[in-house]
Chains A and B, each alone.
Chain A
Amino acid sequence: EAGVVQSPRYKIIEKKQPVAFWCNPISGHNTLYWYRQNLGQGPELLIRYENEEAVDDSQLPKDRFSAERLKGVDSTLKIQPAELGDSAVYLCASSLDLFSVGVYEQYFGPGTRLTVT
């Protein structure tokens, strides 16, 4: 079974440029997460989707970040414009949640390492 796929794996851009990350979750997983992992820190949740609905985007900086999950499968996270402080690893994870509450294992992709110069 294929794991969570993310692309690109690495991205270097200049500040003020736009950037987009793509995630393909494990087949059949209804819940998808985007995390940001700053250097030397643990991942922090940016947004969580249940199918195509964003059910928790409280940590997403909405002035420059946007995300979508069309048809409840693949997802794209966009930053426009990027700032120096956005340099981080962006992780995507997915899980098969039988109910809206409960503990279900999250499977993580390898991440996209973004460097903003």
Chain B
Amino acid sequence: AQSVTQLGSHVSVSEGALVLLRCNYSSSVPPYLFWYVQYPNQGLQLLLKYTTGATLVKGINGFEAEFKKSETSFHLTKPSAHMSDAAEYFCAVSLSGGYNKLIFGAGTRLAVHP
């Protein structure tokens, strides 16, 4: 069965600093991997996804993530944090070859301070 572990339920960075949100997954078959962002009182929005091909995936708002099979990781990064990046971020996995059933991690709340 698949599972997702997000290390750190809360991450705090300074504006302009590097953002690194960690995600490790467990899957018996090649996974599809996703990062979603949730702003207060809003639904989840897809930031980026990895299915096949290039392991470095670029998403919206300057975020990117790298699929590392050997480390079973899909960490999310952004070179320079903005105040508007403060939100909750969810990593999710689904099975390749199956339908789009998403298994979510518990989420990481990102705080950005001046």
Contacts and interface: CB of A to CB of B under 8 A. Distances in A.
Contacts of B9: 40
B44 A56 contact: no
Contacts of B99: 48, 55-56, 97, 100-102
B43 A3 contact: yes
A43 B44 CA distance: 10
B interface: dominant SS:
loop
B42 A110 contact: yes
Given A101-B99, A102-B99, A42 B104 contact: yes
Contacts of B102: 43, 45, 106
Contacts of B73: none
Given A4-B43, A110-B42, A103 B100 contact: yes
Contact of B43 (A42, A48, A101, A109): A109
Interface in A87-105: 91, 93, 95, 97, 100-105
Contacts of B56: none
B46 A103 contact: no
Contacts of A100: 99
A48 B42 contact: no
Contacts of A56: 99, 101
Interface string A43-81: 111001000000110000000000000000000000000
B45 to A, nearest CB: 7
A42 B101 contact: no
12 contacts: A42-B106, A42-B107, A43-B44, A48-B101, A95-B100, A101-B97, A101-B99, A103-B94, A106-B100, A108-B36, A108-B43, A110-B43
